[in-house]
Amino acid sequence: MFFLGILVGLCLLLLYITSVAYRLPSSAMEPTFHCAHPGSGCGADHMDRVLVSRFTYDIRDPHRGDVSAFHVPAAAIAACGATGEDVVYLKRIVALPGDRWREQNGFIYVNGARLVESYVKPDRRDSETIPEKAVPRDEYLMLGDNRSSSCDSRRFGTVPRDDLIGPVYAVYWPPGRISFR
The superfamily in CATH containing domain 22-180 is Umud Fragment, subunit A (2.10.109.10)
pLDDT digit string, tens, across residues 17-70: 678 888 888 889 999 999 888 878 887 888 999 999 999 999 999 999 999 999
Between residues 40 and 121, which one has the greater pLDDT? 121
Contact between 99 and 110 (Cβ < 8 Å): yes
Q: What is the mean pLDDT of residues 83-109?
A: 92
pTM tops 0.75, yes or no: yes
Q: How far apart are CA 67 and CA 55, in angstroms?
A: 15
More reliable by pLDDT, 137 or 180: 137
Which pLDDT belongs to residue 105? Answer: 94
Cα of 162 vs its chain's centroid, Å: 15
Q: Where along the chain do its domains lie?
A: 22-180
